[in-house]
Amino acid sequence: MQVAAIVLTAGTSSRYGANKLLLPFGHGTIISTVVATLAQTPAQPILAVTGHDRAEVEAALTGLAVTFVHNPDFQAGEMLSSIQCGLAALREAGDAPQAALIVLGDQPLIQRRVVEQLIVAFGQGCGELIAPRHHLAGQRGHPVLIARQWWDAALALPAGSNVRHLLQAHRDVLTHIIVDTDSILVDVDTPEAYQAAVRSSE
């Protein structure tokens, strides 16, 4: 069983005011921390969908086992176009994996154990769409796993929609994995969120 990871790195970080993915974090940057964590899991291959600051993002990931796919429509500012770009690249690769994890590039607190829980749950036949949910907050977070049989549906989503619409429309095949970490909910959209994430990692 093969599960790929699609890491979304194409955004312009307009809410932050600078490219948050390139901010220092741990022993590298936010984006290198995310990919390095994924590299410790069974998720293969790891695709980074690039767009804004493409060269800088690729440089930040030097030495990591990652394949780059460029999203020419990144300036539209829609996450969906990057997800669709990654799924299309996986599907065209020939021996496509059985599922793909959609991973936010600005979630440096992503935990290896959560990624592995999702992959194990899929391998055990627990669902075709799988997402983590915080045990106290009750909120769904990332990464989200999409089985290959649902890629066409994701690729057919119209501009302006997102994967959440796919999950809501197919709750009969959606499984929530309950986790005890709020890292699934934490992304870095503001300087305050960045500082909080840095403190949490120390």
Which tens digits make up the pLDDT trace of 83-102?
999 999 999 877 789 999 99
Number of other CB atoms surrounding residue 113 within 10 Å = 11
Residue 28, SS3 per DSSP? strand
Q: What is the pLDDT of residues 123-174, one digit of tens each?
A: 999 999 999 999 887 899 999 999 999 999 999 998 888 888 999 889 888 9
Domain ranges of the chain: 3-201
For residue 25, which phi and psi values (nearest 5 degrees)? -160, 125
Task: Round to whole Å and give the CA distance between 52 and 36.
Answer: 21
Q: Are 159 and 76 in contact (CB under 8 A)?
A: yes
| CATH of range 3-201; options 3.90.1150.10, 3.40.50.1100, 3.90.550.10, 3.30.1490.20 | 3.90.550.10
Q: Are 63 and 85 in contact (CB under 8 A)?
A: no
The HSE-up count of residue 95 (CA atoms within 13 Å, CB side) is 4
Q: Are 31 and 21 in contact (CB under 8 A)?
A: yes
